[in-house]
Structure 1
Amino acid sequence: MNIEKRVTELVEEKIADKPNLFLVDVKMHSNGKLMILVDGDNGIGIDDCVAISRHVGFHLEEENVIEAAYNLEVSSPGIDTPLTLERQYTKNIGRNLGIKMADGTKREGILKAAGSGTITIDETIKQKGKKAEVVESVIPTENISETKVLISFK
């Protein structure tokens, strides 16, 4: 039985009545750490993480899905976790993103919109001898290898 698939089903079951919550990722690491990342359109609280953890843990024990000792961790994605889902992009509209393109180039801009397989950013383009200008760029998400929210401490 695929552990990650079963855990995904259990999490989806638990958050079915909370439409503002969504599953980001489930990963079973070789060191026995089972990581579940859940987020919400308005963030996620510790109570929801605890409820998901108890639900998943109870069923994994009942069904004896994992033979070896394991460590279950439920959390929201950290600020350094790349955005992967459209809902994560939508939640971060207005924030500054660092984007690694599939071709290796890097881009940066303020997220304006997300949906239908694209994101729209306001990108500041600097050209030698000219004043920097802000250009609206639409980027297909399939051309992106990684997107992170950039935090400014100014």
Structure 2
Amino acid sequence: MEFFQRGTAGATLRVYIDHERGITLDDCTAVSHQLSGVLDVEDPLPGHYDLEISSPGLDRPLVFSEHFARFAGHRIRIRLAEKLEGRRKLDGLLQGCEDGLVVLESEGRRWEVPFESIESARLVPEF
């Protein structure tokens, strides 16, 4: 996933990298060096810009159904576009994604949330 922003302080090309085992500072450094070389040679973006390499973070957003399957067993926080049984926010243990439904355990019960009704979802960091 890449983002290019031009602002008053200059332009930034932000690239997010991810891996099942997680991302380290060394991973970001390696990608930065490799990508910098390619960008210098190909020069696809006009003018000066800063290159930022980052991971999605501990509280990473869950956007695709594959994310909900991958992070089953983790705590998540969901914000719904519309109320479901009187609730717009749910916080619980992600069980997975089944037939277009995101399944989580919250407050002692099982919630089945239609994927398309999710406005945003994030992992809840556990320390």
Q: For residues 47 and 37 of structure 1, do their structure 2 counterparts lie closer, same or farther at Cα, with a shift above 3 Å needed?
A: same
- Structure 1, unaligned runs of 5 or more: 1-24, 125-133
Tell me which residue corresponds to 2:51: 72
Aligned-residue offset at 1:87 = 4.1
Where relative contact order (Cα < 8 A, 6+ residues apart) is larger, the structure is: 2
Aligned counterpart in structure 2 of residue 46 of structure 1, from 16, 25, 32? 25
1:107 aligns with 2:81: no
Tell me which residue corresponds to 2:6: 30
SS of 2:119's equivalent?
Answer: strand
Q: CA RMSD in A?
A: 2.2
Tell me which residue corresponds to 1:139: 113
1:148 aligns with 2:122: yes
Q: Which is richer in helix?
A: 1
Aligned-residue offset at 1:115 = 5.4
The 1-side partners of 2:43 and 2:126 are apart by: 45
1:120 aligns with 2:99: no
Aligned-residue offset at 1:152 = 5.6
Q: For residues 123 and 79 of structure 1, do their structure 2 counterparts lie closer, same or farther at Cα, with a shift above 3 Å needed?
A: same
1:60 aligns with 2:33: no
How many equivalent residue pairs? 120
Larger CA deviation: 112-121 vs 134-143 = 112-121
Aligned-residue offset at 1:55 = 2.4
Aligned-residue offset at 1:43 = 0.6
The 1-side partners of 2:59 and 2:24 are apart by: 19
Identical amino acids, percent of aligned pairs: 27
Larger CA deviation: 29-38 vs 84-93 = 84-93
The 1-side partners of 2:69 and 2:38 are apart by: 32
TM-score by length of 1: 0.66
